[in-house]
Each structure stands twice: as structure tokens, then as C-alpha cells.
Amino acid sequence: MTTNTEARPPLPPFTADTAKQKVRLAEDGWNSRDAQRVALAYTPDSLWRNRAEFISGREQIVAFLERKWRRELDYRLIKELWAFSENRIAVRFAYEWHDDSGQWFRSYGNENWEFSAQGLMQARHASINDLPITEAERKFHWPQGRRPDEHPGLSDLGL
């Protein structure tokens, strides 16, 4: 992977507190739905597997996210730390969204992340499943953007 002088704290090696902070920062970034901003958290040559799609580098990350958020409307995401070690973090997540026909979904998944010494994500492996839900089954009701601190997390919601 490319050596990079950009720094994106917290930096590895992670502790329980810094890993939780890194997960929340990632959640906040994705909830912004700002593809350019999100891409800056990754190394310029970051490698992804998202479902069955393979993505390489920031330009492809931006294109992927822009396409994703055009399709996944009213997107709201919660991430939760699962495990961590030196420069790796595993998370589980769920997000809710609807398509252009109004059908709601809750997408569940797991991600494995690997970070550079500068705290940029250099590898992301995501496995995701989509569950159709009714609007009444939704659990993520905050206004678009950052999840409020007082909003329950995945475990609190029984997810």
C-alpha cells in the first residue's frame, strides 16, 4: 500500500476506547452521505470488497458511494465495534433505507478494516444482507446526518 503523510486519528495500535472512537467517526462520515469526505478516510490505493464488488482507490470509492446513495434513499447507519487488534477493527452494522418505489430495507452486515500507520483505512471487506421491512418496522428515526448521541445503538435496539 502507498505510504501517505496524511494523518487520520485515532491512530493504531488501537485500544478499546480509540477503536470505538474510530468506529463512531466512520459511522458519522457515512451518515453525512458526502462521498468526497468519506473517501478521505481511506488510503489513495485502498482496496475494498463490498458484497461482490471489488473497489480500488479513492476515485472508485467516490463513484461507488455516489451510486449507492442515489439508490439507497433516506440512508441511516449504525456501526458497532465487534473486535480490534493492532491496526485492525471488525464492526457489525445495520442501516435503513428505501428505494425509489418506497420499499424500506434494513441492511445488516459485518466489516473487517485494516489501517495504515497514519490511521487511514487501507482495506475494507464488507458482507451485507438486505431485509425488506415495512415503514412501521423502522428503528432509525433521527434526522438525516449524524446519529444523535442519545439514540440507541444496535445492541440497545436488539439488533
pLDDT score of 1 more than 70: no
Q: Where are the domains of the chain?
A: 16-137
pLDDT in tens, 54-91: 999 999 999 999 999 999 999 999 999 999 999 999 99
CA 52 to CA 126: how far, in whole Å?
Answer: 9
Average pLDDT, integer, range 135-153 = 97
CA-based nearest residue to 33, from 143, 122, 131: 143
CATH architecture classification, 16-137: Roll (3.10)
pLDDT score of 144 more than 70: yes
The share of the chain scoring above pLDDT 70, in percent, equals: 97
* DSSP H or E segment with residue 70: helix 57-71
Give residue 5's pLDDT: 60
* HSE, side-chain direction, 13 A CA sphere, residue 106: 15
Average pLDDT, integer, range 92-106 = 98
CA 9 to CA 78: how far, in whole Å?
Answer: 20
pLDDT in tens, 2-39: 444 689 999 999 999 999 999 999 999 999 999 999 99
The share of the chain scoring above pLDDT 90, in percent, equals: 96
Give residue 6's pLDDT: 86
Q: What angle do CA 141, 32, 66 make, to 5 degrees?
A: 110
CA 90 to CA 64: how far, in whole Å?
Answer: 21
Average pLDDT, integer, range 94-117 = 98
